[in-house]
Amino acid sequence: MASSVLVNAGPAPAAISPTAELPVDRLGRPSRALRVSVTDRCNLRCVYCMPEDRYAWLPRAGILSFAEIDFLVERFCEIGVEKVRLTGGEPLLRRDLPDLVRLLSARRLRERSLTTNGILLADLAWPLRAAGLDRVTVSLDTLRRDRFRALTREDRLARVLTGVEAAASAGFSGLKLDTVVLRGVNDDELFDLVDFGKELGAEVRFIEYMEVGGATRWSMDQVVSRSEMLERFRRRFGEVRPLPGRGAATAERFELPGGTTFGIIASTTAPFCRACDRSRLTADGVWYPCLHARVGTDLRRRLRGGATAEELRAVLASRWRDRTDRGAEERLAGGVLTPPVLRAELAADPRLEMHTRGG
Ligand code: SAM
Ligand code: SF4
Ligand code: SF4
């Protein structure tokens, strides 16, 4: 399927006023959080995300400039977005990223955050903090060098750990470590990772292995479920207390005796679509209402075609009102989880890839 088929480039709906009520989607969900992928390139090749040898990259001319991203973010703020997370690909590969953060600092946002693999974080943690970045999440699947190499195909664990330490000392209001748990690969490190996080003042969140675009090696056998993880913690620590106040957050949080906390993101076995207020913008300006959405809205075409701020805001509001997506819940309700998106389709439309639409 050609990529253009998957992009909704229909006519702009009637303009709405900036003072109009903030839109909610068809399931009553507001639009509060936006993940902005700033590049589809990455300096790792994690087995659960980019296992293939070759990828089709987004053409460089299509990549949004910082000014374009900022302009679009301002429009997203007008439909209710309060939180922006920069992601990728590996977002720190995007040159001068602090400049973008500085632009976003002037926007009416409650939070600017970043998800990174940490390789380039040691040099960038302080400049990003100084530019106004509030929170950082570092993906860290293992504390063992040989495993890191096997999982990512790069021998760079030491570099990541230096990056995590720099982030811990740079004064972000929240540092998190995200771990994708794979059975037989790193599922014996749950307690070690929680201890490591505790020492740094970072909360660890365990992510169930998801069957998303790009995860062409996914199988249910490798998923360690939320309930299995909790059972392991219970066996080891006796009590695991669920913490209240999840709201629309992806992670459920738990507390161990002694006060250590950790999170679980159970996107595969206990998805949370009913509260989902997140959408995603690719580095080339296509907006997806769900991680699993097949059709996106081409905002770059409109932006570069001269659409006014009001026209763009109207497109966002109208599309959000039409949103019915519950991608992960629908997969689960189907009884059997479907096989990963076919490689051929991924090759034809790189925007289906997790590393392109931003995790
Ligand atoms: N490169 C950055 C990083 O790794 O943090 C940001 C982009 S990455 C796509 C964002 C998140 O998606 C990472 O935490 C990664 O672990 C997660 N992810 C990627 N593929 C996944 C999969 N198949 N299942 C669960 N999480 C996945
Ligand atoms: Fe790994 Fe993130 Fe790169 Fe995917 S985008 S391969 S999760 S570092
Ligand atoms: Fe939100 Fe889609 Fe993820 Fe469900 S699958 S939580 S609707 S992004």
- pLDDT one-digit tens code per residue, 131-158: 999 999 999 999 999 999 999 999 999 9
Distance 342 CA to ligand 1 centre (A): 19
With left for phi above 0 and alpha for psi between -120 and 50, is residue 239 left, alpha or beta? beta
Confirm or reject: Cβ of 33 under 6 Å from ligand 3.
no
Distance 357 CA to ligand 3 centre (A): 13
Average pLDDT over residues 305-319: 98
Residue 338 confidence (pLDDT) above 90: no
pLDDT at residue number 245: 86
pLDDT at residue number 1: 30
Report the number of distinct structural domains present in the chain: 1
* CATH number of the structural domain spanning residue 96: 3.20.20.70
At 341, the pLDDT band (50, 70, 90 cuts) reads low
pLDDT at residue number 247: 85
Comparing CA positions, the residue from 113, 67, 13, 98 lying closest to residue 285 is: 67
- The average confidence (pLDDT) of the chain is 91
Confirm or reject: Cβ of 137 under 6 Å from ligand 2.
no
Average pLDDT over residues 191-209: 97
**Measured from the CA of 326, which atom of ligand 3 is nearest?**
7
- Give the separation between CA 171 and CA 134, rounded to whole angstroms: 9
Confirm or reject: Cβ of 90 under 6 Å from ligand 2.
yes
- Name the H helices within 153-253: 157-169, 190-200, 226-237
With left for phi above 0 and alpha for psi between -120 and 50, is residue 257 left, alpha or beta? beta
Confirm or reject: Cβ of 211 under 6 Å from ligand 3.
no
Among the bound ligands, the one closest to the CA of 212: 1
pLDDT at residue number 126: 98
Confirm or reject: Cβ of 207 under 6 Å from ligand 3.
no
Instruction: Note the pTM of the prediction, 2 decimals.
Output: 0.94
Confirm or reject: Cβ of 280 under 6 Å from ligand 3.
no
Read off the DSSP letter of residue 215.
-
Average pLDDT over residues 53-63: 93
Confirm or reject: Cβ of 358 under 6 Å from ligand 3.
no
pLDDT at residue number 331: 83
Atom 12 of ligand 1: nearest residue by CA position: 359
pLDDT at residue number 3: 36
pLDDT at residue number 11: 44
pLDDT at residue number 242: 97
Range of 205's domain?
2-357
Beta-carbon-side half-sphere exposure of residue 217 (alpha carbons within 13 Å): 13
Distance 73 CA to ligand 1 centre (A): 22
Counting ligand 1 atoms within 8 A of each CB, the residue from 139, 154, 292, 331 with the most, and so the one to mutate, is 139
Structure tokens at 17: 């006023």
More confident residue, 201 or 347: 201
At 248, the pLDDT band (50, 70, 90 cuts) reads confident
